[in-house]
Structure 1
Amino acid sequence: MKSHFDVLIIGAGLSGIGMACHMKRESPGRRVAILERRQAIGGTWDLFRYPGIRSDSDMVTYGYSFRPWNQHKTLADGPAIRQYIEDAAREHGVDRLIRFGTMIEGANWSSEHRCWTISAHDVASGEKLSFTCKQLVSCTGYYNHDQGYLPTFPGEENFAGLRIHPQHWPENLDYRNKRIVVIGSGATAVTLIPAMAETAQHITMLQRSPSYVMSVPGYDIAAAVLSRILPLSWVYSMARWRNLRLQQLIFKAARRWPVKVRSWLLNHVEKQVGKDVDMRHFTPKYNPWDERLCAVPDGDLFRVLREGKASVVTDKIKTFTEKGILLESGKLLEADIIITATGLVLQSLGGMNVSVDGTKVEPGKLLTYKGVLLENVPNFAYLFGYTNAPWTVKIEMSANYLCRLWEHMENLGKDVVIPRAPVGQKLEESVLSSIHAGYVTRRQEILPRQGRSLPWRVVNNLKSDRNMFLNDPVGDASLELTGPSKAKVESINRRAA
């Protein structure tokens, strides 16, 4: 079975659906398909099912600009986000373009035929599948959906209770009146703890080192009030503008005045945790935004700590025991359930093997052009969003740029685009080198490289990116655009006839 498309999108998550919706709006004449190995829309938001899962960006900016999030709850839960993505896909007719249960084995570009061939199989039946396309767009994010990061713990085989990684949450887990230890202090841990604390006997966050935790309003009161007197579209636009500016302000301030921002964040926490919680548990050794800030709505984490339903321990693990975890300090944390919220495993291109004329493409050795196209790889886009702002904002600008680029190529009679970087442009750092989180430092060698200057440098700056994607010329001397030869056109026409 073989099918040909103008554009193939890999992944039906937030990025893939957003890309397809933009194409429906801006390039409606192109034949498009989305290949998704799971049986549902949503990507990350369909994969993760642990208690309390929610966005760590406000939904007004995390949602699509073309489909306003008009609810006033600031951080939405996983099921609500999954439903939001499904609704957007259905409203734009994108749901009909998805081929579920399609596992991609590899993609090869043929310079002779000037197209991509994607080898795949049907997950359920094992049937071999093949697709060809002119443009290939990877919307798979940058982590492994099959496995999370799980370090080896001394004596872990001795633990008699249940051990769980949040990426593989068991269905219908009963944790009522259980003693729970969550290993980790990142976004997953600070989400799990208040969600489970209400019914667990007690839950402890065990961290090797603290993270910055920031309370945000759980409900947008200003937007709710304004929506009573103004059109929803106006309220949405104002809230989106406000939130984006505020996020950028905090990030820029953290980079320029790290000591002052650190003091402001810690004072904010100290007011909420109460006098009985040692602030050493919330005082990181690094500066704000060296790693992402953890957001908690209405300080729910701090509330369960004040109420004694949860606690925080900062220590190192000596060994697992039959009853729990023995710490290097000598303290034993007894547990019925241990949750290893130890992070993600980076993966490039969703694990897909990509080659050009049979030669394997190694993203970790290549630059990106405008953070979208991959150096020396024809007709290929790799979409990933912001790390210091809502992911979707950059995905939308990238999608808009690609639609403009393809239209530009069509107007010039060109069908192949290849970014060519100048000599000396490449640096050894990756596109995520500004983030010092463990999941990045462990495997950042697989990510595309960072360039010295635009358009080969990923700057994660909303103002600069908006100009580059939406206002600057579509291409420059670094983009090699070619069209098929007369003989190739005649050959293509003969095959089509």
Structure 2
Amino acid sequence: MSEQILDVLIVGAGISGVGAARHMKTRCPGKKVAVFEALDGFGGTWKVHTYPGIRSDSDLYTFGYRDKPWTGPPIATADEILTYMGEFIEENGLAPLIHYNHKITKAEWSSAEKLYTVTYETPDGEHTVKARFLWMCQGYYDLDKGYTPDWDGMDSFKGEIVHPQNWPDNIDLSGKKVVVIGSGATAATLVPNIAKSCDHVTMLQRSPTYFSTGRNANDLADELRRLEIDEEWIHTIIRKKALTDQRDFTAAARSDPDAVKKMLFDNIKAVMGEDCDMTPFTPNYRPWRQRIAFVPDGDFFHAVREGKASVVTDHIDRFVPEGIKLKSGEVLEADIIITATGFNLKFLGNIPFVVDGEPIDFNDRLTWRGMMIEDVPNMLYVFGYFRASWTLRVDLLGDFMVRLLEHMDQTGAAEVRPQVPANERALERMSWMDAVDFNPGYLQRGEHLMPKRIDHLEWQHTQDYWHEKDALPEVDLDEASLVYEDASGQLVGKASANAA
């Protein structure tokens, strides 16, 4: 590997990296491409997470790849997703491109060479490889360790404390009293799945989360299959319908949040009963300021209704030997405490970047359309959507990447970097996301790692798939914010003409 110069090095073999590899192999067949994955297999989060019931919280018609039909239930288990990805790798001949146990530790750009020197570790030691372009696809959180707050008294608890991200193979929940701390998708997945075996499970939340629930099925897809419609057609139709429904739902959450709230609550009451106490399921913010977790077939609410699980809303005072003491004074007894408290944000895997000897602090730089970084050459990164499926952006950025590489080949460019035009450099640099619009805890905790934005569309990440699906294919690759150089360092394209 170290003897050749790669045209594109893709970092990560999760859902993003595998999708990126397919774009490169099928659409840029003349390019030398490799995928480096730190783990010993593909799948990323779906490989790492093994807690009971682990499943998607997006429908697979939109979370799946654009060009591979999904034929299972809309919400899929991790095993089903891994099987789907394995088929995708095999069908597209991607396996030879993927190198496992390759952990990147540094990326150093040389403007003189127009190359990155990438340092990476494998089981047999440290190596380097040179690459013309980096495509960062390693996700946005730390796969090694989840986020657990440092509560007082944790050492005094006589039971076991487990984070879902580091689920032990030998844990025995049978007959145990379990407390799950958290109220997001992970907690809502764990509770019904462990309620089957433990004595009782309590979900302890500081504040409620919005849940959406319904059948884990797609009636239109099932009807089209009954009519023996081709699966590729079904995938396209259901994907478009799901995206239209998501767009309308997101718009309604802004324009008529009370109506959306009522709809979500009515679905819960359909399982729990009209007279159920909705207090534990009523957040103090409007829908979609944080991600809405889907509960397939209402399994979480069935567990609560049947008395196998309960929900407590309170703050933790401290851990005590027998469980958790709450601010209210109540003690929740527990044999096992599961901290479904989220994850630690990472940006580009926390890989150190150096450009011409200068270490890059991404928090000091602007994002260019949520895919490149101000003054960082030849690097594109995948960061997906919060209000739509992550993978949708993988395919959009795959289209963009192919177009960008073709443009560079046609113009003789060896380097491209986003550069803020002089008339925009004095604008206020703001945090990456607008906290009024979207404010999950992991983003607030990790804000110091993320690039900044300014009040110009090209210098922010809109998080709006329905805008980007039309806008990104129309981006002018010669716009003023993109600067190109040839191998000798001379400006090429419009920048060259403007300089002249």
TM-score over 0.5 for the pair: yes
Alignment of 1:90-489 (within 5 A): 90-122=90-122, 124-125=123-124, 127-229=125-227, 230-274=229-273, 277-422=276-421, 423-425=425-427, 427-431=429-433, 433=435, 434-485=437-488
Deviation sequence 1:194-243 (CA, Å, 0-9, x none): 11111111111000110001103211232112112122222211111110
Q: Give 2:68's aligned amino acid.
A: R
- State the partner residue of 1:86: 86
User: Deviation of residue 444 (structure 1)?
Assistant: 1.0
* Greater mean deviation of Cα atoms: 261-270 or 391-400: 261-270
- State the partner residue of 2:31: 30
Task: Answer whether contact 2:370 2:460 (CA < 8 A) is retained.
Answer: yes
User: Deviation of residue 453 (structure 1)?
Assistant: 2.0
- Give secondary structure in 1 for the equivalent of 2:400: helix
* Greater mean deviation of Cα atoms: 97-106 or 52-61: 97-106
Percent identical residues:
39
Task: Answer whether contact 2:432 2:460 (CA < 8 A) is retained.
Answer: no
User: Deviation of residue 276 (structure 1)?
Assistant: 7.0
Task: Answer whether contact 1:176 1:200 (CA < 8 A) is retained.
Answer: yes
Cα distance in 1, alignment partners of residues 359 and 434 from structure 2: 23
Q: Give 2:430's aligned amino acid.
A: E
Note closer, same or farther for the CA distance 1:475–1:64 as it changes in structure 2 (3 Å cut): farther
Note closer, same or farther for the CA distance 1:471–1:292 as it changes in structure 2 (3 Å cut): same
Cα distance in 2, alignment partners of residues 152 and 121 from structure 1: 32
Q: Give 1:444's aligned amino acid.
A: E
Tell me the TM-score normalised to structure 2 length. 0.94
* Greater mean deviation of Cα atoms: 167-176 or 339-348: 167-176
Cα distance in 1, alignment partners of residues 248 and 64 from structure 2: 20
Note closer, same or farther for the CA distance 1:486–1:238 as it changes in structure 2 (3 Å cut): closer
1:45 aligns with 2:43: no
Task: Answer whether contact 1:451 1:458 (CA < 8 A) is retained.
Answer: no
User: Deviation of residue 348 (structure 1)?
Assistant: 1.1
Q: Give 1:68's aligned amino acid.
A: P
Note closer, same or farther for the CA distance 1:369–1:439 as it changes in structure 2 (3 Å cut): same
- State the partner residue of 1:13: 14
Task: Answer whether contact 1:181 1:339 (CA < 8 A) is retained.
Answer: yes
Note closer, same or farther for the CA distance 1:375–1:387 as it changes in structure 2 (3 Å cut): same
- State the partner residue of 2:74: 74
Runs of 4+ that moved beyond 4 A: none
Cα distance in 1, alignment partners of residues 53 and 480 from structure 2: 49
Q: Give 1:469's aligned amino acid.
A: L
Cα distance in 1, alignment partners of residues 303 and 332 from structure 2: 18
Cα distance in 2, alignment partners of residues 210 and 161 from structure 1: 26
Note closer, same or farther for the CA distance 1:86–1:426 as it changes in structure 2 (3 Å cut): farther
Deviation sequence 1:295-319 (CA, Å, 0-9, x none): 1001111111111111000111122
Task: Answer whether contact 2:368 2:459 (CA < 8 A) is retained.
Answer: yes
Task: Answer whether contact 1:370 1:468 (CA < 8 A) is retained.
Answer: no
User: Deviation of residue 277 (structure 1)?
Assistant: 4.5
User: Deviation of residue 160 (structure 1)?
Assistant: 1.0
Task: Answer whether contact 1:430 1:445 (CA < 8 A) is retained.
Answer: no
User: Deviation of residue 382 (structure 1)?
Assistant: 1.3
* Greater mean deviation of Cα atoms: 181-190 or 453-462: 453-462
Note closer, same or farther for the CA distance 1:194–1:295 as it changes in structure 2 (3 Å cut): same
Deviation sequence 1:60-99 (CA, Å, 0-9, x none): 110001111122x110001111221122122212121111
Q: Give 2:43's aligned amino acid.
A: G
Note closer, same or farther for the CA distance 1:275–1:257 as it changes in structure 2 (3 Å cut): closer
Q: Give 1:219's aligned amino acid.
A: A
Q: Give 1:393's aligned amino acid.
A: L
- Give secondary structure in 2 for the equivalent of 1:428: coil
Task: Answer whether contact 2:213 2:264 (CA < 8 A) is retained.
Answer: no
Tell me the TM-score normalised to structure 1 length. 0.94
Deviation sequence 1:425-452 (CA, Å, 0-9, x none): 5531214743211111112121121231
Deviation sequence 1:157-178 (CA, Å, 0-9, x none): 1111111001100014221221
CA RMSD of aligned residues (A): 1.7
Q: Give 1:93's aligned amino acid.
A: G
Cα distance in 2, alignment partners of residues 312 and 475 from structure 1: 55
User: Deviation of residue 54 (structure 1)?
Assistant: 0.4
Task: Answer whether contact 2:181 2:338 (CA < 8 A) is retained.
Answer: yes
- Give secondary structure in 1 for the equivalent of 2:399: helix
Cα distance in 2, alignment partners of residues 400 and 416 from structure 1: 19
Task: Answer whether contact 1:425 1:456 (CA < 8 A) is retained.
Answer: no
Cα distance in 2, alignment partners of residues 387 and 320 from structure 1: 33
Task: Answer whether contact 1:109 1:115 (CA < 8 A) is retained.
Answer: yes
Cα distance in 2, alignment partners of residues 238 and 475 from structure 1: 35
- Give secondary structure in 2 for the equivalent of 1:451: coil
Note closer, same or farther for the CA distance 1:349–1:311 as it changes in structure 2 (3 Å cut): same
Task: Answer whether contact 1:401 1:474 (CA < 8 A) is retained.
Answer: no
Task: Answer whether contact 1:415 1:484 (CA < 8 A) is retained.
Answer: yes
Cα distance in 1, alignment partners of residues 60 and 413 from structure 2: 39
Cα distance in 1, alignment partners of residues 265 and 243 from structure 2: 23
Gaps of 5+ in 2: 491-500
Deviation sequence 1:135-193 (CA, Å, 0-9, x none): 01111111111211111112111111111001100014221221110000011000100
Q: Give 2:93's aligned amino acid.
A: G
Q: Give 1:200's aligned amino acid.
A: C
Cα distance in 2, alignment partners of residues 345 and 276 from structure 1: 39
Cα distance in 2, alignment partners of residues 29 and 102 from structure 1: 24
Gaps of 5+ in 1: 488-497
User: Deviation of residue 360 (structure 1)?
Assistant: 1.0
Cα distance in 1, alignment partners of residues 325 and 203 from structure 2: 14
Task: Answer whether contact 1:21 1:94 (CA < 8 A) is retained.
Answer: yes
* Greater mean deviation of Cα atoms: 322-331 or 271-280: 271-280
Cα distance in 1, alignment partners of residues 21 and 253 from structure 2: 35
Cα distance in 2, alignment partners of residues 449 and 316 from structure 1: 33
Cα distance in 2, alignment partners of residues 228 and 263 from structure 1: 33
